Structure 1
Amino acid sequence: MKLKSVLRNLLLSRWYERIPILYAWYEHSIMKEVLKNPIPQHIAIIQDGNRRFAKMIGESTEKGHKYGADATERVLNWCEELGVKQLTLYSFSTENFNRPEGEKKAIFDLMKAKFKETRENPRTHKSRLRVRYMGDIEMLPEDVKKEVLLTDEVTSEYDNMFLNVAIAYGGRQELVDGAKKMARDIQSDVIEPADVNEDMVDDYLYLDKTPKSKVDLIIRTGGDERTSNFLPWQSSGNECGIYICAPFWPEFRKIDFLRAIRTYQIREKEHKIKQAVKVVKLKRHNGGFSKDELKNDLSEALKITLKEAEAIMKNPLVMKEIVKASS
């Protein structure tokens, strides 16, 4: 019993992640597993922990934000590698304006440098990376605002991958600003009140262009279990997954990123199986079905391929309902 306890504690400590060759093997294993399943197309990240990381290693707060910017570069690379279409980063909230002047200046200087660096990087243009801002940039210093707008303009024709930078952003304020714009258009007879629907509301938010802003997965680093007024509209009503992890943003690793995606994939698979069971039950009560009909109906209802529908039909929970229908 004691040996089992020791082995369990060793596994929980993840000691193997601190040995380079074992870490590389573990990362490769998770990557293979993740690539077998659909990749989330829009990932949003709350980049928390720059200041706490700096304090932990005895560095200045400003240095912590610099390490955080380096982490952003790594995550962007991983998204490109995996085929993630959109990455949204919570870089500076409206509440962050309450921070000390010295810290704000350091953050703004870093933002200017990073926007300029991204705009001038040949890789941005080779990979056709669209860099967009979302937030009330009128709140920003003029020199920062200039860099943000210029980068947005220079990459405006690109559509291979989208990097959305939430800067001077507040989720509730986004909804208020969208409601005001919509009210003005209704008053000017640009739109009719009866035509207002969810898709139209989405058009009036900060990211008012394609692709639509629905978020598949929100990741928060630093361990805090809250969403901090981040993307309330985009994460609601579409089964958005939320993954909280302990590492501070500057120490966020590829295996942390892959674990988040794997958790999302497991959750998505479980959700599809539950939906499939409901579809089978409904069809059974409505007079039965053939397997080909069920496969087509599952494909349509779950928005998956026929091959994926066929795989779900082999799940034990779904099979159980199919057997009931044929007995």
Structure 2
Amino acid sequence: MEKDGINKPARVLWRLGYFLRELIVSTLSVGPIPTHVAFIMDGNRRYGKQQHLNQGGGHVAGYLALKLMVLYCRELGIKYVTAYAFSIDNFKRSPEEVRCIMDLMVEKIEQELSQVDNTFSRMGVRVHFSGKLELLSQPAMDAVKRLMAATAGNSKALLTICFAYTSTDEIVHAVQETCRRKLAPDQIEGKGNYVVKVEDIEKHLYMAVAPEPDIIIRTSGGHRLSNFMLWQSSNTCLITFSQLWPAMSCWHLVWAVLKFQRNYYYLEKKKKQM
């Protein structure tokens, strides 16, 4: 018999999984818990091909994996989650694929907003999009704005989705914005103070909404940052998994946190030396 579209065996398995995760959380909580975990979500297209899904099916599976990963992070007490969803370079893909991704984003956001209590609000998660958002299609931009507005009052965690993002663009944007503000005649900081400092740049980065990541996880076996958070990752624990993004599970996150805990004091020592 089904309840809310979920059959009894599936509910039992979910409850069992939740119980096991509670045990793991209580064990991991003995050590330091990362404040910010970032994901390079690589492998959606390959996953779709492997599973013989329709066009865009891999990205749908990737979106569901992201929602689950945010849930796992919430259970562990991780306050900031960042997902590298779409690079500026990805706009070089075929127009059909880019349009499909934009349409899927609009569809999934509309589904979230159509719920009386959407998933992110239920978890107390505020959703923020970072990047050169003017590159989005108008329907996608409108949907993004509605989702950010709908979750603006949530304060338990922050999910930042980097879309139309590269780190080099982020840094250039921050430098340009800093110079613009310092040269503006109506700005206090522009009155004779034209020296650009590190803190000036950091204040205007797209990712100024979150602290530096403690962990960056990349999937599909890649060992590159792919122009992601280059400014913020000098003391970050970098972890790669061979699994494609949609195949990521709670256990991968647990392994990443354990590795972070093992290297925690070394990383903290390096931060103090800077």
Partner of 2:174: 178
For 1:119-161, what per-residue CA distance to the aligned partner results, in whole angstroms no more than 9, with x for missing partners?
4541433443211110011111100011111212232233221
Contact 2:71 2:123 in 1 (8 A): no
Moved more, 263-272 or 191-200: 191-200
Q: What TM-score, normalized to structure 1?
A: 0.70
Query: Alignment partner of 2:231: what SS?
Result: coil
Cα distance in 2 for partners of 1:157, 1:32 equals 28
Provide structure 1 residue ranges, at least 5 long, that are not aligned to the other structure.
1-19, 276-300, 303-327
Q: Please show how residues 119-198 of structure 1 align to structure 2 within 5 Å.
A: 119-121=113-115, 122=117, 123-189=119-185, 190=187, 191=189, 193=193, 196-198=196-198
> In structure 2, the residue corresponding to 1:258 is in which secondary structure?
helix
> Relative contact order: is structure 1 or structure 2 higher (C-alpha 8 Å, sep ≥ 6)?
2
Aligned AA (1:47):
M
**Equivalent position amino acid for 1:214 in 2:** E
Report the secondary structure of 1:52's partner residue. Answer: helix
Which residue is equivalent to 1:54? 48
Give secondary structure in 1 for the equivalent of 2:56. helix
Which residue of 1 is the match for residue 103 of structure 2?
Answer: 109
Equivalent positions of 1:130-279 (< 5 A) are 130-189=126-185, 190=187, 191=189, 193=193, 196-209=196-209, 212-236=210-234, 239-271=235-267
Q: Does 1:99 align with 2:93?
A: yes
**Contact 1:182–1:204 (Cα < 8 Å) also in 2:** yes
AA paired with 1:203?
K
1:73-128 per-residue CA deviation (whole Å, 9 max, x = no partner) reads: 11011011111111110111101111122222221122112223344541433443
Measure the CA separation in 1 of the matches of 2:128 and 2:20.
34
Shift in alpha-carbon separation, 1:26–1:150, aligned structure 2, 3 A: closer
- RMSD, aligned α-carbons: 2.6
Structure 2, unpaired ranges of 5+: 1-12
Distance 1:231 1:120 in 2: 33
Percent identity of paired positions between Structure 1 and Structure 2: 28
Q: C-alpha separation between the residues in 2 aligned to 1:105 and 1:219?
A: 27
Q: State how far apart, in whole Å, the 2-side matches of 1:218 and 1:196 are.
A: 28
